């Protein structure tokens, strides 16, 4: 994906360490971002941030 310049943005909704590490690694390798919201309000903030990032590209 990195060669294709695809950025991966992910939102971790699980406490499973394996999944969060994998999603974080994938985001870092593709110059994307990994988010770990603590509550529903944080999810809404993340979605707004992702929308702004995508629109700016």
Q: Which of 54, 55, 56, 37 is nearest to 46 (CA)?
A: 37
Give per-residue pLDDT as tens, 10-42: 998 877 777 888 999 999 999 999 999 999 999
Looking at residue 5, what is its pLDDT?
Answer: 82
In a domain, 4, yes or no: no
Q: HSE-up of 54 (CA within 13 Å, CB side)? A: 10
pLDDT of residue 2: 61
The domain of 36 spans 9-56
Structure tokens at 22: 């994998």
Q: Give the number of domains in the chain.
A: 1
pTM recorded for the entire structure: 0.77
Q: Is residue 41 part of a domain?
A: yes
- Assess if residue 3 is contained within a domain: no
Whether the pLDDT of residue 4 is over 70: the answer is yes
pLDDT at 1: 64
């Amino acid at each position: 994906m990195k060669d294709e310049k695809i950025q991966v943005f992910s939102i971790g909704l699980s406490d499973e360490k394996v999944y969060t590490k994998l999603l974080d690694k994938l985001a870092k390798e593709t110059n994307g971002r990994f988010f770990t919201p603590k509550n529903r309000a944080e999810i809404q903030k993340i979605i707004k941030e992702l929308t702004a990032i995508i629109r700016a590209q």
